[in-house]
Chain A
Amino acid sequence: MFGSGLLKGLRITGKRMVGPTKCDMYPYHRRTLPTKSRIFLAMRATPDGKPLCRACLTCQQNCPDHVIRIERDPDDRERAVSFTVDSGRCTFCGLCEENCPYDVLVFTQDFERATFDRDTLVYKLIDDGMATGACVTVEPTDEPAGEADADG
């Protein structure tokens, strides 16, 4: 019938108007993220602030967007002095995490990193050879981290 579409539209919106809303009210109610969700890059570190990174540069070489920049210690080639992540360029492809031979790169569920300033999107995982607040602490194990995985 002519005009029946108009009534159909009114019926749909009318139902929604009186029905419940489907809003999370975000800052007050936080939805628990799916356990597999991977949002921002972080690094594993020991409780005393030592990063587990071996400065092999695999992640830096694999990153398609040149997000990661690692500075090696000139005296110790297995120690990174700084590990910078420019998350403003990151496409969250996960190649760094996938290719890390020592499994020290992880994606955390922290997603509240919106800023007003591009510079604040660049953050350091290792600064001056020590892990920063952006790292994830892991309990130390007997064997060096990720060694078994790297071999296998």
Chain B
Amino acid sequence: MSGHQFLVALVWVLALLVVMALNIIFMDWYERKLIGHIHLRPGPMHTGWHGLLQPFADMLKMLGKEDIVPTGADKLFFWIGPMVVVVPLFLALTVLPVAPGAALADINHGLFFVFAMQTIVPFGITLIGWAGHNKWSLVGSLRAAAQLITYEIPMLIAALGVVMLAGSTRLTDIVQHQTVWWYALKLPIGFAIFFVTGLAEMNRTPFDLPEAESELVAGYHTEYSGMKFGFAMMSEYNSMLVGSWLLVLLFLGGWNLWPLPPSPLWVVLKVYLVQSFIVWIRGTYPRMRLDDMMEMSWKYLIPAGLANLLLVGVLGTVFPKF
């Protein structure tokens, strides 16, 4: 690697870090505002104009908090856990493009790289839950492990349909195949499955069982305080960003918005529309029961995903231009 390439990569990494931080700051405020309005409340109003500075106040508060390690906690895992949930999602961001080839690394197996990174997150959550030495966090982390592993399968199957149509796992190629017809329109079943499983992968309502605050105190990060808790929160917003970005690239045409010219702006717009929809869902639906949730994946989503895959195969063979 030459010095020039290194410099470019460094700038990319810094830019991604800024994007990540800005997304967290914005979503922290935006989610509370949307949820507030759904409850007919105004949401944060005190700090700054309409509470815009609230995320900074929260951050300052978290930085100032005492970092408590509970007695009996597994100190090493307690320390490693928050990093294991934050770092893979940041790595997943590095391969997500905003324009043709415009990613830190537009690798040819970008889709599988993102999935691989998302798969590491449940390990981190399990570590966090185990290390806290608390039964609530352990229950939360076990739920997370079960849920995330269960919902990865239909998610991969749904994404496989897209890969079969596009004939590539490079995310740029997949988006270039959707100049006019998005895969969401061609594969509505696959899109629905991917969205639902995406919600489960992000631990969002109605699948937020790992942190079910009404049953498990705060779920897997009950024992965390200060900036370590902040990392767990950050990982949640990051997984929302990665998940909705992936959804936009795979199914919603990425930077294409026919008949308008392609632009990175559409990616940003669509990502935030998807995130708004996710928050909207959070404000609407109650949490699913654990057995219902597992049943939904094993009994309905996986068979539906396989049927979708079969359909894609048949349609792709009969109509080669599909």
Chain A residues with a Cβ under 8 A of chain B: 6, 9-10, 12-14, 16-19, 21-23, 25
Contact = CB atoms under 8 A, between A and B. Distances in A.
A14 B42 contact: no
A13 B282 CA distance: 10
A10 to B, nearest CB: 6
Contacts, number: 34
B40 A21 contact: yes
B180 interface: no
B263 interface: no
A23 B283 contact: no
30 contacts: A6-B285, A9-B284, A9-B285, A10-B280, A10-B281, A10-B284, A12-B284, A13-B38, A13-B280, A13-B283, A14-B280, A16-B37, A16-B38, A16-B39, A16-B40, A17-B34, A17-B37, A17-B38, A17-B280, A17-B283, A18-B37, A21-B37, A21-B40, A21-B42, A22-B40, A23-B40, A23-B41, A23-B42, A25-B42, A25-B45
Interface of B: 34, 36-42, 45, 280-281, 283-285
A14 B37 CA distance: 9
A112 to B, nearest CB: 19
B50 to A, nearest CB: 12
Contacts of B281: 10
A12 B40 CA distance: 12
Contacts of B283: 13, 17
Nearest to B41: A23
B166 to A, nearest CB: 29
B284 A21 contact: no
